[in-house]
């Protein structure tokens, strides 16, 4: 069955960096659109980034463009989010998600990232 397991979250100081990983099983990451979606404490959902199945199309929300980089590793069947120049407003639970067409059909369990001095 499909599983998405995030890792790499934690506490980081403003201006610092963090790399989130999402290990996938039950399907091949490079065959699907994959995405990162975040949820600030007590707030709603926000698309952060996605990568197309072919890897040729990548999207970033305006709020993270230029600071975050999405990537994937076919050999490890994993998705990554490199987050640089972190700000307090980046504090959120980050979800790895698999898309099927235009639908998010599977979500990871979420990983908390806290940006604070």
**Range in contact with another protein (rule: CB under 8 A) among 9-17, 20-28, 77-85, 107-115:** 107-115
One residue of 23, 46, 53, 67 binding another protein per CB under 8 A: 46
Nearer to another protein, 1 or 117 (CB): 1
Structure tokens at 10: 């934690």
- Binding of another protein by 108 (CB under 8 A): yes
Distance CA 111, CA 23 (A): 13
**Range in contact with another protein (rule: CB under 8 A) among 9-17, 22-30, 82-90, 104-112:** 104-112
- Binding of another protein by 95 (CB under 8 A): yes
Q: Classify strands 58-60 and 3-7 as parallel, antiparallel or unpaired.
A: unpaired
Distance CA 38, CA 19 (A): 14
Q: How many CB atoms lie within 10 A of CB 34?
A: 24
Q: How far is the CB of 64 from another protein (least distance, A)?
A: 12
- Binding of another protein by 27 (CB under 8 A): no
Structure tokens at 47: 């698309």
């Amino acid at each position: 069955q499909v599983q998405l397991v995030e890792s790499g979250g934690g506490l980081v100081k403003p201006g610092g960096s963090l790399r989130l990983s999402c290990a996938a099983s039950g399907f091949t990451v490079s065959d699907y659109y994959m995405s990162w979606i975040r949820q600030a404490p007590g707030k709603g959902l926000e698309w952060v980034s996605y990568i197309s199945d072919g890897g040729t199309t990548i999207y970033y929300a305006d709020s993270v463009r230029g600071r975050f980089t999405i990537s994937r590793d076919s050999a490890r069947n994993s998705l990554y989010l490199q987050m640089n120049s972190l700000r307090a407003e980046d504090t959120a639970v980050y979800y790895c998600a698999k898309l099927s067409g235009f639908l998010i059909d599977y979500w990871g369990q979420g990983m908390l990232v806290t940006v604070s001095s």
